[in-house]
Structure 1
Amino acid sequence: MSESEYQIEIGGEADGGDRVPDLTPREAFERWMGRLRASKATSTVTSYHYQLKLFVEWCEEEGIATIGELTGWDIESYETERRNEGVELLSLNKEFRTLRLFLEYCARVELVDDDLPEKVDPPDVPRDAHVDETRLEHGRARMLLDYYDEHDYGSREHALLALAWYVGARLGGIRGLDLDDYDSDDAYLQFIHRPSEKTPLKNGRDGERAVGLPRHVCDTLDAYIAEHREEKYDDYGRRPLFTTLNGRMSQNSVRARMYLATQPCLHMECPHGNEREGCDYVDYTHGSKCPSSRSPHQVRTGSITWQLNRGVPIEVVAERVNTSVRVLKRHYDQPTKREELEERRREYVDRLGFGESGGEE
């Protein structure tokens, strides 16, 4: 085979004379996605993909043949079109932050001008728009767990809800737990990053940690394991903590079970005037349609707020739930004004007296 057969023709040249390819927007996009898959969680890559694919399609519709043709006017035109489509500011902000990251990569490898990423100006969003205020309130969590303690102790739904509430873990973290990751005697769980076996943690190895459990939560898990857990293995020969007849629970299965586990009609009359018997929402496939059921993320949000309101230091909560203090404050620390008064300020209010310790004599 001659030397010429190994040569690949590449079009375009950078200012310094180095040859760079004339990639289409889609080709540049797919190349960036490929790089991200090597270092980012699957959920992050998927999110970036959906936030950028409309931009790539728009470029193709506008006849932008190469990524190097992009201008600041193109970016402004695309934003105007997205605004006219009625896209919410928060979604638009996320899309254009991702677009800027993509163009920063393109500039770094000399596919676009160095200053093009600076021309992406994500719209400002009010701080409270970043927060999902729909969360499982601690009062409802307590009533639900009381119901399970009395009527369905150790069931799969009971164990899932108890673990999600008292830890504040993400759906993927709970799903990826193995039986051997739980130590009942020492009352703790280990979260381990296992991407090659389809149970990655969102933050990779940085998400690995041991989390202590209250004794009564261990009792719930022990009852679930002894009486309700299916003795199954996954495709890698591991013994999942949470199982179905087919092996490890899927993410959709964990999500669906959490919706069912948090329906208020388990412990009270339906707030929507329905009868539990005959209600479509109690079916596995329709549980998410109940207006008062909660997703795993909403249980996590409520748990984190509750842990903070109970006086657990924010640094400790951040470590338990595997997030930064900054992110925790912005997205999860959502006390109501009354909760702030009752939970966080009560110790100081109690000092407002004339006794030696601050209280009344």
Structure 2
Amino acid sequence: MSSAPDVFEASLDEPPKYEVPIEGTTDGGDRVPDLSPREALERWLNKLRVSRSESTVSAYHYRLKHFVEWCEEVGISEVGQVNGWDIESYETSRREQGLEPITLNNELGTLQSFFEYCVKVELVDEGLPTKVDPPVVPAADQVSKVRLHTDRAQALLTHYVATECGSRAHTLLALAWFTGARLGALRGLDLEDYDREQQCLKFTHRPREETPLKNGADGERFVGLPKQACDVVDAYIQKHRLEKYDDYGRRPLLTSERGRPSTNAVRAWMYLATVPCLHSPCPHGNDPDTCNFLDYSAASKCPSSRSPHQVRTGSITWQLNRGIPPERVAERVNTSIEVLLRHYDQPTRMEEMRERRRPYLDRLSFGDEEGDDR
């Protein structure tokens, strides 16, 4: 009785063939993997981390997480399933949530870039990015008008001096206001980066120790502080700062119980530090004794509290209003003059008249000027 030939038996006329099927994976294989929208997004963000700052990658994550969650809610399990109608439906759902046009523009613009990556690695059809249509936003509306205004900043700082001078909230707000620095730069400061004698801070790019600067080594700089800010930092160091170390043996200037605070923690601290009813009656009619917005985890929901970026915007506007030349302000806050004037310089008409034009008012009076028309 003959038996069936062994599958690995070689023919006399041809060399042996050994074929082992290998499942496609996210790291390679014979076919493009069926990635979910979440998996594809994570892969794209990891790729971006090679050349983009962590703050930029984080911004892209927050812009697209709503799309990923929407896909999961409607049952889209593979990013390759997304079509033009899905994109239209998603955009409609976001519009119905009352998003500002600039926010929707940013989200859809980032979604388009994400799909362009997906086309490149053959996860979606090549025409899909063109089906994303970010709304056109007038130039005047491309900049958020929300900022911490000078009068409120002054009221908050005065409140802290009188009630809890040198507290963590007071120090964070003072550093942010008098330097205009980004959240990440403030979080990355060490105790040794503060020089009381020279009245300045040193900002250093330390990506390997998880405290990078937005613009890398180009963001390294010394920033001078007024005596008012130094007095706050001194009080904080003497009375309120916890003697803590981070995971790299460094001593953070701003500390939490665990050492160096997380980015989210610093953001939450700023929201809580800028709640307006700390210094005046609640503008929304709430009772401070029962208002949930005064809770650490809910302060960001207060319509009048401000994020670190909004404090930065207010600080930059204030510095310009005080007559500091734009090029000097740009150096202090580590941005280009073009970006500074487009995105951060937001004076009200009254502020502009009162502060910027005051040095020229004396020229607008009649007197014994030479060259009078006779």
TM-based fold match above 0.5? yes
1:306 aligns with 2:318: yes
1:322 aligns with 2:330: no
From 91, 100, 115, the equivalent of 1:83 is: 91
Contact 2:166–2:240 under 8 Å retained in 1: yes
Distance in 2 (alpha carbons) for counterparts of 1:6 and 1:39: 38
1:229 CA drift (Å): 0.8
1:148 aligns with 2:160: yes
Contact 1:262–1:294 under 8 Å retained in 2: yes
Instruction: Tell me the alpha carbon deviations over residues 238-274 of structure 1, each in whole angstroms, 9 at most, x when there is no partner.
Output: 1000112321223333223323322333333333444
The runs of 5 or more residues in structure 2 that have no matched partner are: 1-17
Question: Alignment partner of 1:285: what SS?
Answer: coil
Alignment CA distance shift 1:348-1:227 (3 Å): same
Aligned residue number for residue 15 of structure 1: none
From 19, 32, 41, the equivalent of 1:22 is: 32
Distance in 2 (alpha carbons) for counterparts of 1:275 and 1:92: 34
1:132 aligns with 2:160: no
Distance in 1 (alpha carbons) for counterparts of 2:330 and 2:88: 38
Aligned residue number for residue 14 of structure 1: none
Aligned residue number for residue 212 of structure 1: 224
Aligned residue number for residue 278 of structure 2: 266
Higher CA-based Rg: 2
Contact 1:20–1:110 under 8 Å retained in 2: no
1:7 CA drift (Å): 11
After alignment, is 250-259 or 271-280 more displaced?
271-280
1:208 CA drift (Å): 2.3
Distance in 1 (alpha carbons) for counterparts of 2:192 and 2:332: 19
Distance in 2 (alpha carbons) for counterparts of 1:31 and 1:274: 45
The runs of 5 or more residues in structure 1 that have no matched partner are: 12-18
1:249 aligns with 2:261: yes
Alignment CA distance shift 1:208-1:107 (3 Å): farther
Letter matched to residue 179 of structure 1 = L
Aligned residue number for residue 202 of structure 1: 214
Contact 2:22–2:30 under 8 Å retained in 1: no
Question: Alignment partner of 1:335: what SS?
Answer: coil
Contact 1:21–1:111 under 8 Å retained in 2: no
Contact 1:168–1:321 under 8 Å retained in 2: yes
Contact 1:55–1:78 under 8 Å retained in 2: no
Contact 2:67–2:90 under 8 Å retained in 1: no
Letter matched to residue 301 of structure 1 = T
After alignment, is 129-138 or 81-90 more displaced?
81-90
Q: How many residues align?
A: 344
Alignment CA distance shift 1:7-1:174 (3 Å): farther
1:141 CA drift (Å): 1.0
From 179, 183, 186, the equivalent of 1:167 is: 179
Distance in 1 (alpha carbons) for counterparts of 2:169 and 2:79: 52
Alignment CA distance shift 1:267-1:98 (3 Å): closer
Instruction: Tell me the alpha carbon deviations over residues 273-305 of structure 1, each in whole angstroms, 9 at most, x when there is no partner.
Output: 445445444343343344333222221121111
Question: Alignment partner of 1:247: what SS?
Answer: coil
Contact 2:204–2:217 under 8 Å retained in 1: yes
After alignment, is 110-119 or 126-135 more displaced?
110-119
Question: Alignment partner of 2:211: what SS?
Answer: coil
Instruction: Tell me the alpha carbon deviations over residues 123-167 of structure 1, each in whole angstroms, 9 at most, x when there is no partner.
Output: 211334333322211011112212222332222221111111111
Distance in 2 (alpha carbons) for counterparts of 1:135 and 1:263: 13
Q: TM-score w.r.t. structure 1 length?
A: 0.79
Instruction: Tell me the alpha carbon deviations over residues 183-205 of structure 1, each in whole angstroms, 9 at most, x when there is no partner.
Output: 11111112222222222223333
Question: Alignment partner of 2:201: what SS?
Answer: strand
Aligned residue number for residue 285 of structure 1: 297
Percent of aligned pairs with the same residue?
Answer: 57
Distance in 1 (alpha carbons) for counterparts of 2:290 and 2:24: 65
1:6 CA drift (Å): 12
Question: Alignment partner of 2:45: what SS?
Answer: helix
Distance in 2 (alpha carbons) for counterparts of 1:215 and 1:48: 39
Q: TM-score w.r.t. structure 2 length?
A: 0.77
